[in-house]
Structure 1
Amino acid sequence: MNTVHKRTMLATWVSVLLLSACGSGGGSDTQAQSNSLSAETNSTNTGSATQSDSTADTSSDNNAPSDDTNTEETESGANTDTGTALTSGSTDGVLCDYFYNEFNDSASVQMTSNADWSCTGSTRQLTANGIPDHETGTFPNPGNPNTISETAVSVSYTLTPEQTDTASTLGGPRGATGYVLNGVKIDANTAGSCDDSGNSCSLVGNTGNWHIEALGQTSFDFGTDDNNAHVQPNGAYHYHGMPEGFIALRGGDNTSMTLIGWAADGFPIYARNGYSDAQDATSSLKAMTGSYQLVENVSSNRPSTSVYALGTFAQDWEYVSGSGDLDECNGRYGVTPEFPQGIYHYYATDTYPYFQRCVKGQL
């Protein structure tokens, strides 16, 4: 097993203190698909990236640290040390030395997955090759004709994120909304669309007015696997929803709140569960729900709901404040295990929008 395990900066700092007695389009689909559907490409309207979304993405508590920094490894060999934030208003000290370098023997991968996160000065840096560290579905497949391959990932996020009142839409050509710790990007929208009649639909180009969702609908097949992910023409495997395989590797379950990645604005991303009382770490965990609902008044210009059920298109959903646990970017402010004094953070959810489509922090 070729595992490289870094010693955490946090653990080193704590040891020194103790000794002194005092923490998501390039390429077009080359495989014909039925009903004039082709592989998806970059979105210029919804900031999307699915089968042929954007090419390789280059976008870039004043709480005492615990003596126990939990540096044990998962079976996959990843360093799972999390720690707690060293300074109020900063994410420094949390997963600043996450490193993974293992061969993935999944049938459609057969390559080494590499991801290296580090914190230097005021930035959190990721260098990765975009290869997932968990089992994947079969690629190519009838709904996705692309093969997983390495894509150079190099992004830098701030360690001092600032929440704003503005939601900035990301995805596709605008850049990934964030990255899971394994170096795989998050890009929840698609580039598929239909015209008003619904007679002309394509999984590429976003030329129609009605933008097709990758998940939660049965009219179109984007070839996503059990990790709610698929592959772009340039080989970039990316997530549209809950990265189940990675969550399992992190030990995520109904009894834990699992940090799985970082958003483009520098705020953390958690999987599924959060405290039922956002400000109380002793409250029970619950599955977070998004605050989007199906529209009640369907546009007369929409393709027929008898052909394409509500939920097929992004425009079928509207944000209704207070209808769920989260805001329009699938985030909220509250305490987390790594940030006991509170921080704005995002969630992957089992409900729409599945992953955030925007960020609330300053970019």
Structure 2
Amino acid sequence: MTPTISKFANALSSSAKPTGLGLVCTAFLTFSATAHEATSVDITGAIFASTRADCASYENLYSSDVTDTQQYRQLKGSVHVTAYDDHCVVESNSIPNHDTGEGSGRNFVAPVTEISGSFTIPRSPKQQASVTALEQRSYDAILLNGVVVDILSAGCYRPGGNRVDANGNVAIGCRATDKWLLDPLGPDAGFGADIHHAHTQPNGQYHYHGNPMAMFDDQPGDDGSPVIGFAADGFPIYGSYFKDAAGAVRKAKSGYSLKPGTRPSSASDPGGTYDGMYVDDFEFTDAGDLDACNGMVVNGQYAYYVTDAYPWVIKCFSGTPDSSFAKPRP
């Protein structure tokens, strides 16, 4: 395969204001075709604008300069999107386009570290007859700021385990199929995520468990929120807003609801009210706009949407996830 001929440049307008951590730049990105070679674009603090679903629309080199607020040091992000005939490749060093560590309540398990990754995104993904479950051995998505989405935790209710917390939960060692898997963004989950719903792995890789609170905001365009990344199956991920059938631009609503009543109480069940601490506290009731994977079709395009409630970004894959999203073996 050879890269597509067209490259994509970016028109930027920005405003900067001083904060206690230096300058925070808010940039608005649009993408237009050009025959020139890709040039590095600073996306520090960027709010994206493009709603194009083809990953080739974002072909370029991107950079950012942000602050690790826990270690009091500067971090430099790097993202390279390359388009080919039938797929795109996103290469990044896992550093986001925003500051890290704010609001976590404690230091991450390891300082934010540059971790190289390369992800293949099919340009013409297809919905399959059956969905594919998320796995702990693979990342779920790569966002356009170069940071992966990794929804599932490895914590669960295991009162007989090591380093059990006051609720009978352990933070590591559980499989995706175990009962009472912790939702990292659930109440009292104890994962120490920052204001971007992210933290680090033991190797220092920064990753999201939910809404990145970046790249889109609550002032969407006429067609809704922009594309902020791509799932492992190639379908785009939009921010929270879309234009509905009535022409109104509004937030997409999750189809999941908390189960009524209380959990079973036994040696292997935590008891208590279904409050969202565990993945099993939720059930798909089709009460919102989105399907069981947290996606829907708008104007003929299937995509996933960031939501204010569980499952936050993606619950399963409607297409076939690419093997490049498998996590490296330790």
Normalised by the length of structure 2, the TM-score is 0.74
In the aligned structure 2, how far is the partner of 1:273 from the partner of 1:77?
19
Tell me the CA shift for residue 295 of structure 1.
1.4
Aligned to 1:266: 234
Structure 1 residues 240 and 83 mapped into 2: Cα distance closer, same or farther (>3 Å)? Answer: closer
In the aligned structure 2, how far is the partner of 1:259 from the partner of 1:83?
5
Structure ranking higher on relative contact order (CA contacts 8 Å, 6+ apart): 1
After superposition, residues 238-317 of structure 1 pair within 5 angstroms as 238-247=207-216, 253-255=219-221, 256-277=224-245, 283-296=247-260, 298-301=262-265, 302-305=269-272, 310-317=275-282
1:350 aligned to 290, 295, 308, which one? 308
Structure 1 residues 70 and 140 mapped into 2: Cα distance closer, same or farther (>3 Å)? Answer: same
In the aligned structure 1, how far is the partner of 2:8 from the partner of 2:47?
13
Aligned to 2:319: 361
Q: More displaced, 288-297 or 197-206?
A: 197-206
CA contact (8 A) 1:104 1:135 kept: yes
Deviations 1:153-172 (A, max 9, x none): 11112111001132112242
CA contact (8 A) 1:326 1:332 kept: yes
Structure 1 residues 84 and 355 mapped into 2: Cα distance closer, same or farther (>3 Å)? Answer: closer
Tell me the CA shift for residue 349 of structure 1.
0.7
In the aligned structure 2, how far is the partner of 1:84 from the partner of 1:258?
8
CA contact (8 A) 1:171 1:357 kept: no
Aligned to 2:324: none
Q: Is the aligned partner of 1:103 residue 2:61?
A: no
Deviations 1:116-158 (A, max 9, x none): 1111121110111001111222498537322100111111121
Residue 274 of structure 1 aligns to which amino acid in structure 2?
F
2:200 aligned to 231, 236, 253, which one? 231
In the aligned structure 2, how far is the partner of 1:77 from the partner of 1:220?
28
**Structure number with higher strand proportion:** 2
In the aligned structure 1, how far is the partner of 2:101 from the partner of 2:280?
29
Tell me the CA shift for residue 329 of structure 1.
0.8
Residue 88 of structure 2 aligns to which amino acid in structure 1?
R
CA contact (8 A) 2:56 2:82 kept: no
Residue 139 of structure 2 aligns to which amino acid in structure 1?
A
Residue 133 of structure 1 aligns to which amino acid in structure 2?
N
Deviations 1:311-358 (A, max 9, x none): 11100001112x1010111000112xxxxxx21100111111111021
Tell me the CA shift for residue 257 of structure 1.
1.7
In the aligned structure 2, how far is the partner of 1:153 from the partner of 1:75?
19
CA contact (8 A) 1:70 1:83 kept: no
CA contact (8 A) 1:143 1:221 kept: no
Aligned to 1:25: none
Deviations 1:169-207 (A, max 9, x none): 22421x111111011001112111113798632111117
Residue 233 of structure 1 aligns to which amino acid in structure 2?
P
Q: Which runs of 5+ in 1 are unaligned?
A: 1-7, 13-67, 86-90, 336-341
Give aligned pairs, total: 278
Aligned to 1:137: 101
Structure 1 residues 100 and 78 mapped into 2: Cα distance closer, same or farther (>3 Å)? Answer: farther
Aligned to 2:154: 191
Q: Which runs of 5+ in 2 are unaligned?
A: 10-30, 161-165, 322-330
In the aligned structure 2, how far is the partner of 1:297 from the partner of 1:163?
35
Deviations 1:241-278 (A, max 9, x none): 11113335xxx62444211000111110001101122x
CA contact (8 A) 1:189 1:213 kept: yes
Residue 154 of structure 2 aligns to which amino acid in structure 1?
A
In the aligned structure 1, how far is the partner of 2:305 from the partner of 2:123?
19
CA contact (8 A) 2:48 2:227 kept: no
In the aligned structure 2, how far is the partner of 1:274 from the partner of 1:79?
16
Tell me the CA shift for residue 233 of structure 1.
0.6
CA contact (8 A) 1:134 1:246 kept: no
In the aligned structure 1, how far is the partner of 2:107 from the partner of 2:64?
28
CA contact (8 A) 1:291 1:319 kept: yes
CA contact (8 A) 1:274 1:285 kept: yes
Q: Is the aligned partner of 1:334 residue 2:307?
A: no
Tell me the CA shift for residue 79 of structure 1.
11
Identity percentage of aligned residues: 28
Tell me the CA shift for residue 94 of structure 1.
2.4
2:179 aligned to 193, 209, 214, which one? 209
In the aligned structure 1, how far is the partner of 2:51 from the partner of 2:260?
45
Residue 294 of structure 1 aligns to which amino acid in structure 2?
L
Normalised by the length of structure 1, the TM-score is 0.68
